[in-house]
């Protein structure tokens, strides 16, 4: 039984709240700052922002500090409570579809590192379309399984008889998206895609295995840097807009 069907993905044992905001990794703050900067470039610096799957509120806090009126929705009860009681931000336990927000409620809907975990991504995006205001924006970030890094690592893993777990089947991710497929999902929900942007490579931002040799760590980070320069990062974000009429 996968962690999705058992429910342990939503209430993972041993997952405890951060002891301070500093525990959020610097690379995640940087990624969130890039997303907020892109929203500003698209003409949205403030307004009502809904973060779907806000977890411990890292993005929610940054969006609030940048001027947005924020609301988080999070199925993991302990995380929703942390956001409300520790960060003092508006959040509730649940899912986007269970929340039943009124139509045309939000200037921005963000779905960050969530879409790959959902059984029906397009249905979720259609609900995001419903609750977004006319002219409002949706932002979806997710791994890019068609990029350079997963292809290289999958080749290595196949040769060694192992899988590359971040783009694995359950219990980790239900879906793996390419730039083309995530764009298609967002458009099928009714949005007009403004851009599909590359984010910093995971090989530059995450810790490699403790047992990795120094040369391997340097090599992987080098591959990550090259991927970013070429626009072939294994992480991406879609920025799309709801038109005045569907």
Q: Which of 143, 152, 142 is nearest to 222 (CA)?
A: 152
Give residue 4's pLDDT band: very low, low, confident or very high (50, 70, 90).
very low
Is 2's pLDDT higher than 50? no
pLDDT at 114: 94
pLDDT confidence tier of residue 221, bands split at 50, 70 and 90: low
- As a whole number, the mean pLDDT across the chain is 80
Tokens of 68: 């947005």
Cα–Cα distance for residue pair 77/11, rounded to 1 Å: 8
User: What digits encode the pLDDT tens for the residues 40-71?
Assistant: 999 999 999 999 999 999 999 999 999 999 99
Question: Where residue 201 falls among pLDDT bands split at 50, 70, 90?
Answer: confident
Model confidence at 84: pLDDT above 50: yes
User: Would you place residue 6 in the very low, low, confident or very high pLDDT band (cuts 50, 70, 90)?
Assistant: very low
With tokens 């298609």, the residue in question is 184
Those residues whose C-beta lies under 8 Å from the C-beta of residue 19, and which sit 6 or more positions away, are none
What are the residue ranges spanned by the domains of the chain?
Answer: 3-241
127 Cβ partners below 8 Å, 6+ apart? 96, 97
Q: Which residue has the higher pLDDT, 42 or 218?
A: 42
pLDDT, one tens digit per residue, over 206-215 is 555 545 666 6
Answer yes or no: are the C-beta atoms of 140 and 111 closer than 8 Å. yes
Give 182-238 as a 3 state SS string. Answer: HHHHHHHCCCEEEEEEECCCHHHHCCCCCCCCHHHHHHHHHHHHHHHHCCCCCEEEE
pLDDT tens digit sequence for 106-163: 999 999 999 999 999 999 999 999 999 999 999 999 988 866 565 555 555 555 555 5
d(CA 120, CA 118): 5
Strand segments, DSSP code E, in the chain are 47-52, 68-74, 91-93, 106-112, 132-143, 192-198, 235-241
Q: Tally the C-alpha atoms within 13 A of residue 124's C-alpha that lie toward its C-beta.
A: 22
Average pLDDT, integer, range 76-91:
94
Size of the chain in residues: 246
Fold of 3-241: Rossmann fold (3.40.50)
Residue 158, exposed/middle/buried by CB under 10 A (0-12, 13-18, 19+)? Answer: exposed
């Amino acid at each position: 039984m996968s962690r999705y069907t058992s429910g342990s993905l939503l209430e993972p044992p041993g997952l405890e709240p951060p002891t301070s905001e500093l525990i959020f990794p610097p690379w995640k703050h940087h990624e969130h700052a890039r997303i907020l900067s892109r929203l500003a470039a698209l003409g949205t610096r403030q307004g009502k922002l809904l973060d779907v799957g806000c977890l411990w509120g890292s993005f929610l806090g940054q969006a609030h500090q940048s001027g947005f009126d924020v609301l988080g929705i999070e199925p993991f009860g302990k995380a929703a409570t942390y956001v409300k009681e520790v960060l003092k931000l508006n959040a509730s336990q649940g899912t986007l579809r269970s929340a039943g927000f009124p139509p045309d409620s939000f200037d921005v809907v963000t779905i960050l590192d969530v879409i790959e975990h959902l059984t029906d991504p397009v249905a979720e995006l259609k609900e995001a379309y419903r609750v977004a205001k006319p002219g409002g924006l949706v932002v979806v970030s997710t791994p890019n399984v068609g990029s350079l890094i997963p292809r290289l690592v999958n080749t290595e893993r196949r040769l060694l008889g192992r899988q590359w777990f971040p783009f694995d089947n359950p219990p980790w991710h239900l879906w793996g998206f390419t730039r083309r497929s995530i764009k298609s999902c967002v458009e099928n929900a009714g949005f007009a895609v403004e851009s599909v942007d590359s984010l910093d490579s995971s090989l530059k931002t995450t810790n490699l295995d403790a047992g990795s040799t120094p040369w391997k760590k340097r090599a992987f980070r080098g591959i990550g840097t090259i991927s970013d320069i070429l626009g072939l990062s294994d992480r991406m974000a879609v920025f799309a807009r709801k038109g005045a009429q569907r």
